[in-house]
Chains A and B, each alone.
Chain A
Amino acid sequence: MNILNITWKEIKVSFRDYHTFILMLAFPIILMLILGSALSNNFDKKIKVDNVHVIYKNSASQAVFSYFQSFIKEAKVAGIDFTEVADGINGRDEVKENHFTAFIEVTDKGLTLIGSSQNSIEESILQGMLTAFADKYNLAAAVVSVDPTKVSTVLASSTKHDYITEHSLRSAKAPSSMDYYAIAITTMIAFYAALYGMGLLREERVKHTSIRLLAAPIRKSEIFLGKIIGCVLVNLICVAAIVIFSHYVYKAEWGSHIGLVFLILISEIFLAVSFGLGISYMVKSHEAARTITTLVIQLVSFFGGAYFKIDHPTGIFKFITDLSPLTWVNQAITKIIYNNDLAAVVQPVALNMGVSLLFLMIAIISFQRREGL
């Protein structure tokens, strides 16, 4: 009962403090908007195919080239511009300088595709189209050798426009930049709870209300628990608000297992609060604790991909990113949303709770030993 009393007070006090709103609500929502729209280019799924400009050089016979021309026509429908290379211009250099997405050399022997590494998705689309084209051409050649009359039917069966679905099973349900940042920023803000955890008991000392709490006939553990639960709830409410806001306003995808997503978020908030609390007990001065907590939050956010997506890290970098709780959490949430991989919930929750207990233990030991709060 006393625990509930303290929890309820904690919630009331936190929500009447406008700082809470700024840091925990306004800041992430704005950050989501900025990062989600500004960095959307890094997420290639939504790229318009008409952005693809291709340069080609023809050194094949007319017969072969005519097929290629029909391909060009079809591709134009899909929004891919083809330009024949002008004399004296090296197609490769054009691509290198990023004037064109790719350079295709058409010869009698086949097609050579040289892409720029900067537009990998476009390039793979193109590659898919060309493969399809080449396959069909090969098929036609094979048919000719058996029954030349059937060639036209083979060639008439128009190629599909939607190349992507053919070549990428994954992309039907892959995060857009807003989807990605909705998750990343939400989990980052959840980790900001560490700042609250750090100030949790200091706040009572600063307000001198710790005297009253300690003088009351309640156990120290009740104060401790009540405050932690309150803090977790406050942060959870903020995070929930962000999730709801991002879902309805930014149309971010949160999947159909929202309960599991929240389970992970709760465990993360718990981890953050315990971490902050633990630090505040391990380090004597408040300033030092604050510096350490802020630093850790920033590092964790950075390596957890809150500011930009970290694709397939390797080596030592992978090791570092794996250390960030945000990495576990983000990966698990992504798996749940996009792959319906419900088992993914177990690992991050277990890890978060385990590490939390460690920090909590540190806090509890010092708490019991210390006089006052």
Chain B
Amino acid sequence: MEFWMIFSKLILLGYLVLRFIHVTDRNIPWIIFSLLLYLCINILYYIVKQDRMKRGILFLSLVQILASYYMVQSLFILLLPLNLCEIFPFQNKNRFMILILVFLPLLPLPNDLAFQYGLVAALSFIIYMMFMQFTARLQMQEAQLDVMRKNLQKVTRILNENNEFIRQSEYTFKLEERNRLAQVFHDKIGHTMTGALIQMEAAKRLIGSDQKKALELLQNAINISNMGIEQIRITLKNLKPPIEQIGINRMKLFIEEFSAKHSLSMPFIYKGDMERITPIQWKIIYENLTEALTNALKYSEATMISIKIHVLNTMIKVEVKDNGVGVQKVKKGIGLIGMEERTASINGKIIVDGTNGFSVTMLIPIQGTM
């Protein structure tokens, strides 16, 4: 959009040059110098990116125009309005101010110049307004597009994550189940069945010689088989292992590994009834913990990271706290926002405190109690 401003300035400059050709003036070198100076300053204005620098240059340009007006050629004042417009940042509220400011220099000008100035000022004002409006609209649309793009990305990411999680947890559960079943069958039912088999084998050998003894053995085998069936029943009934075992053990394992890998001291304390933490809560605690630990590793320069899980009456509190440098004003990065979003999905909250080391505290309500 700056293109249009530059073009407007060029047209004005062209007009001035044409006028200067017709005005026979001994001042030609100075006029050319001033024109070039104007050109330099204004090109610089569009090159520089920093806002403060831009302002400085703009001010310089205004001074230059005024100086040229007073000392070289009065026509230079015609360059003023566009630069005056540019003083204001894009905000529609200022419209009236710009109008006043642009027409203010009209007052001290001599008549013939005033007419020209008025024309240029009015045109400059209109051009600038259009420029502003278009820019604002474009920015708005781009911002909207950005937001939409981001949202899309986020949704896709969440979708992928969830799919991954579902797949993984399915697999985990299957594996756990299989393990457990194998263990139980091997440890208990296997032994029982073997026992019954041996008894029956013995009974088969004895059935000719000592029927009474054989019957006894068979009865034994029947009893053992009964017991086996009962065991299978119990095993099937208790097939689901206590979830807490997965959660807390997995957590412990993870912390130990992490601690060993990065040679950090990582005390882990848990208090209260761990069974009240649901699998989805465990999942989020686990993910947030990973994120918090990664952050701590990256920024904190900590030597110790303590992890506390405290199951209160109606809330679960998970705290990850390091003894590192901390930070006075916490700025939310993607990591923190991600943690917040995850926690919010189960109605939890995250408190981040950087005044004494760095701590991330998750507060998750226990389902059905709040």
Contact partners of B100 in chain A: CB under 8 A? 357, 361
Contact partners of A365 in chain B: CB under 8 A? 94, 97
Contact partner of B107 (CB less than 8 A), chosen from A354, A358, A368, is: A354
Interface string of A357-373 (1 = CB under 8 A from B): 11001000100100000
Contact partners of B94 in chain A: CB under 8 A? 365
Q: Is residue B93 within 8 Å, beta carbon to beta carbon, of the partner chain?
A: yes
Contact partners of A361 in chain B: CB under 8 A? 97, 100-101
CB A348 to nearest CB in B, in angstroms, measures: 15
Cα(A365)–Cα(B96), bound, Å: 11
CB A356 to nearest CB in B, in angstroms, measures: 13
Cα(A354)–Cα(B100), bound, Å: 11
A368, B101: Cβ atoms closer than 8 Å: no
Cα(A185)–Cα(B97), bound, Å: 35
A368, B97: Cβ atoms closer than 8 Å: no
Interface string of A265-304 (1 = CB under 8 A from B): 0000000000000000000000000000000000000000
Q: Which residues 322-373 in A have Cβ within 8 Å of B in the complex?
A: 354, 357-358, 361, 365, 368
CB A147 to nearest CB in B, in angstroms, measures: 63
Closest to B97 in A: A361
CB B95 to nearest CB in A, in angstroms, measures: 12
Interface string of B53-97 (1 = CB under 8 A from A): 000000000000000000000000000000000000000011001
B residues contacting the other copy or chain, number (CB 8 A): 7
Q: Which residues 98-137 in B have Cβ within 8 Å of A in the complex?
A: 100-101, 104, 107
CB B186 to nearest CB in A, in angstroms, measures: 71
Cα(A153)–Cα(B104), bound, Å: 69
Cα(A358)–Cα(B94), bound, Å: 14
Cα(A361)–Cα(B94), bound, Å: 10
Cα(A365)–Cα(B95), bound, Å: 11
Contact partners of B93 in chain A: CB under 8 A? 368
Cα(A365)–Cα(B87), bound, Å: 12
CB B367 to nearest CB in A, in angstroms, measures: 41
Cα(A357)–Cα(B100), bound, Å: 10
Cα(A361)–Cα(B98), bound, Å: 10
CB B4 to nearest CB in A, in angstroms, measures: 25
CB B187 to nearest CB in A, in angstroms, measures: 71
Closest to A364 in B: B97
Contact partners of A357 in chain B: CB under 8 A? 100
Contact partners of B107 in chain A: CB under 8 A? 354
Cα(A354)–Cα(B97), bound, Å: 14
CB A28 to nearest CB in B, in angstroms, measures: 33
Contact partners of B97 in chain A: CB under 8 A? 361, 365
Interface string of A207-229 (1 = CB under 8 A from B): 00000000000000000000000
Contact partners of B101 in chain A: CB under 8 A? 361
CB B37 to nearest CB in A, in angstroms, measures: 22
Contact partners of A354 in chain B: CB under 8 A? 104, 107
Contact partners of B104 in chain A: CB under 8 A? 354, 358
Cα(A361)–Cα(B101), bound, Å: 9
Cα(A213)–Cα(B94), bound, Å: 25
Q: Which residues 141-176 in A have Cβ within 8 Å of B in the complex?
A: none
CB B159 to nearest CB in A, in angstroms, measures: 40
Contact partners of A368 in chain B: CB under 8 A? 93
Cα(A56)–Cα(B97), bound, Å: 71
CB A278 to nearest CB in B, in angstroms, measures: 13
Closest to A357 in B: B100
Cα(A361)–Cα(B102), bound, Å: 13
Closest to A350 in B: B107
CB B285 to nearest CB in A, in angstroms, measures: 39
Closest to B94 in A: A365
Cα(A107)–Cα(B289), bound, Å: 115
Cα(A354)–Cα(B108), bound, Å: 11
Closest to A361 in B: B97
Cα(A368)–Cα(B101), bound, Å: 18
Cα(A78)–Cα(B186), bound, Å: 143
CB B188 to nearest CB in A, in angstroms, measures: 72
Cα(A22)–Cα(B136), bound, Å: 52
Cα(A357)–Cα(B101), bound, Å: 10
Cα(A357)–Cα(B104), bound, Å: 11
Closest to A368 in B: B93
Contact partners of A358 in chain B: CB under 8 A? 104
Cα(A321)–Cα(B97), bound, Å: 30
Cα(A70)–Cα(B93), bound, Å: 83
CB B128 to nearest CB in A, in angstroms, measures: 16
Closest to B100 in A: A361
CB B326 to nearest CB in A, in angstroms, measures: 28
Cα(A365)–Cα(B93), bound, Å: 9
CB B87 to nearest CB in A, in angstroms, measures: 10
CB B30 to nearest CB in A, in angstroms, measures: 20
CB A371 to nearest CB in B, in angstroms, measures: 15
CB A52 to nearest CB in B, in angstroms, measures: 47
CB A100 to nearest CB in B, in angstroms, measures: 49
Closest to A362 in B: B97
CB B3 to nearest CB in A, in angstroms, measures: 28
Cα(A361)–Cα(B97), bound, Å: 7
Cα(A365)–Cα(B104), bound, Å: 17
Q: Which residues 218-266 in B have Cβ within 8 Å of A in the complex?
A: none
CB B260 to nearest CB in A, in angstroms, measures: 51
Closest to B96 in A: A361
Cα(A368)–Cα(B94), bound, Å: 10
Cα(A357)–Cα(B97), bound, Å: 11
CB A27 to nearest CB in B, in angstroms, measures: 36
Interface string of B180-197 (1 = CB under 8 A from A): 000000000000000000
Cα(A368)–Cα(B93), bound, Å: 10
CB B343 to nearest CB in A, in angstroms, measures: 30
CB A149 to nearest CB in B, in angstroms, measures: 67
Cα(A368)–Cα(B107), bound, Å: 27
Cα(A361)–Cα(B87), bound, Å: 13
CB B49 to nearest CB in A, in angstroms, measures: 23
Cα(A361)–Cα(B100), bound, Å: 10
CB A109 to nearest CB in B, in angstroms, measures: 51
Cα(A354)–Cα(B105), bound, Å: 11
Cα(A297)–Cα(B349), bound, Å: 56
Interface string of B312-334 (1 = CB under 8 A from A): 00000000000000000000000
Cα(A368)–Cα(B97), bound, Å: 13
Closest 10 CB pairs of A and B: A361-B97, A365-B97, A365-B94, A368-B93, A361-B100, A354-B107, A361-B101, A354-B104, A358-B104, A357-B100
What are 10 inter-chain pairs, A to B, with CB distance below 8 A? Answer: A354-B104, A354-B107, A357-B100, A358-B104, A361-B97, A361-B100, A361-B101, A365-B94, A365-B97, A368-B93
Residues of A within 8 A of B (CB): 354, 357-358, 361, 365, 368
Can you name 8 extra interface pairs (CB under 8 A) apart from A361-B97, A368-B93? A354-B104, A354-B107, A357-B100, A358-B104, A361-B100, A361-B101, A365-B94, A365-B97
